[in-house]
């Protein structure tokens, strides 16, 4: 397969894996297709960093309840615990590259230095669209990893790691050239509903009711209830519960806090209610989830 030097290389189901979830240094490069028919029903999280690069002309990404329109070449940077999902339009499957990676808390005694490389992931708007010259530099760095060959299996992971660190450094240096601006929704009602969804993501630990949200956003309870289901596909109660449960799941995997404490921190006022709702959405108890998923491979908790 021949490629232009300034376009992102792609081959369906091309992937590269270095280590696994049991190792604190992990990489998974996944070149593949996704279609409208398999859009995820609700936003999900990762315990690792993720870079989503769209190769297809257009799609959208939902991050913490807010939809973002993206086009070919755009990079979506997702730090751990952020709830998100990609959405593809009807028609031909969409092509994309997803890079998942996980670094040790202290990588060779340079934790603070590595943290600087992750700064673009923590920007208020972690979606990047670059002018053609900067986009070419990004593609060159990723294509170098795509095409890299090494006979010595012990050296390949180290070389890939080095090239990816160089990519992260380049991305950080180019961040000021970001020209991405989210296209505003034309439908005012949808804009209102998505702003409420985003509020839920940022305040899920607080008491959230239909009456409270309708007053805060100056919208009637009936209209909010009806429009929320129409726009998101979920009732307001379902959305609040699922957002809370997803955050509990993340903390079950990434902290050693007591389950009762996590339930309270995520907005559940009744522990019995929490257990019932958790089992409803996860088909297992919180303790079973914590025990089972910690021994699960990275790809199965996407």
Percent of the chain exceeding pLDDT 90 equals 81
What's the residue count for the chain?
A: 302
CB within 8 A of 85, min separation 6: which ones? 39, 40, 42, 43, 44, 61, 62
Buried b (16+ CB within 10 A) or exposed e, 21-30: beeeebbbbb
Convert the pLDDT of each residue in 138-187 to its tens digit: 999 999 999 999 999 899 999 999 999 999 999 999 999 999 999 888 88
Can you tell me the distance from the alpha carbon of 270 to that of 272, in angstroms, rounded to the nearest whole number? 5
Mean pLDDT of the chain: 92
Q: What is the pLDDT of residue 20?
A: 87
Cα 293 from Cα 252, distance rounded (Å): 9
Say which DSSP state 44 is in.
Answer: B
Return all residues near 122 (Cβ < 8 A) that are at least 6 apart. 79
Q: What is the mean pLDDT of residues 19-23?
A: 82
C-alpha distance from residue 112 to each of 119, 163, 294 (Å)? 11, 19, 27
Model confidence, pTM: 0.89
| Average pLDDT over every residue of 67-87 | 95
Residue 168 burial class via C-beta count within 10 angstroms: exposed 0-12, middle 13-18, buried 19 and up = buried
For the segment(s) 14-177, the CATH number from 3.40.630.40, 1.10.150.650, 3.40.1710.10, 2.60.120.280 is: 2.60.120.280
CATH number for the segment(s) 189-301: 1.10.10.60
190/232 Cα distance (integer angstroms): 9
Q: In the chain, where are the structural domains located?
A: 14-177, 189-301
Residue 5's pLDDT is what?
56
**Model pLDDT for residues 192-215, shown as the tens digit of each residue:** 999 999 999 999 999 999 999 999
Sequence-ordered alpha helix ranges (H) in the chain? 111-117, 132-147, 156-174, 188-202, 210-216, 221-232, 236-254, 259-265, 271-282, 286-293
Strand, coil or helix: 251? helix
Q: What mean pLDDT comes out for the span 252-279?
A: 95
- At residue 299 the predicted structure's pLDDT band, cuts being 50, 70 and 90, is very low
Residue-wise pLDDT tens digits, 240-253:
999 999 999 999 99
| Residue 298 pLDDT > 50 | no
Residue 274 has pLDDT above 90, yes or no: yes
The strand pair at 94-102 and 58-63 is best described as unpaired
């Amino acid at each position: 397969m021949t490629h232009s030097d300034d376009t992102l290389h792609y081959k369906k189901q091309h992937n590269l894996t270095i280590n696994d979830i049991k190792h604190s240094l992990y990489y998974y490069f996944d070149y593949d297709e996704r279609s409208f028919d398999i859009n995820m029903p609700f936003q999900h999280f990762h315990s690792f960093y993720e870079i989503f690069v769209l190769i297809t002309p257009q799609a959208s990404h939902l991050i913490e309840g807010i939809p973002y329109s993206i086009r070919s070449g755009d990079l979506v940077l997702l730090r751990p615990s952020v709830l998100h999902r990609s959405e593809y339009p009807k028609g031909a499957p969409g092509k994309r590259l997803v890079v998942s990676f996980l670094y040790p808390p202290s990588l060779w005694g340079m934790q603070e230095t590595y943290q600087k490389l992750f700064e673009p992931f923590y920007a208020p708007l972690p979606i990047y669209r670059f002018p053609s010259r900067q986009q070419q530099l990004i593609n060159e760095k990723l294509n170098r990893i795509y095409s890299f060959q090494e006979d010595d299996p012990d050296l390949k992971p180290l070389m890939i790691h080095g090239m990816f660190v160089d990519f992260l450094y380049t991305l950080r240096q180019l961040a000021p050239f970001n020209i991405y601006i989210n296209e505003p929704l034309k439908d005012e009602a949808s804009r209102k509903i998505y702003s409420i969804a985003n509020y839920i993501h940022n305040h899920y630990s607080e008491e959230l009711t239909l009456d409270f949200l309708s007053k805060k956003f100056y919208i009637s309870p009936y209209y909010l209830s009806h429009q929320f289901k129409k726009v998101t596909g979920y009732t307001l109660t379902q959305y609040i519960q699922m957002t809370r449960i997803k955050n509990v799941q993340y903390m079950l995997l990434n902290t050693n806090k007591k389950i009762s404490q996590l339930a309270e921190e995520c907005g559940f006022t009744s522990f019995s209610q929490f257990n019932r709702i958790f089992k409803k959405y996860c088909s297992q108890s919180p303790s079973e989830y914590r025990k089972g998923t910690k021994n699960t491979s990275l790809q199965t908790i996407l």
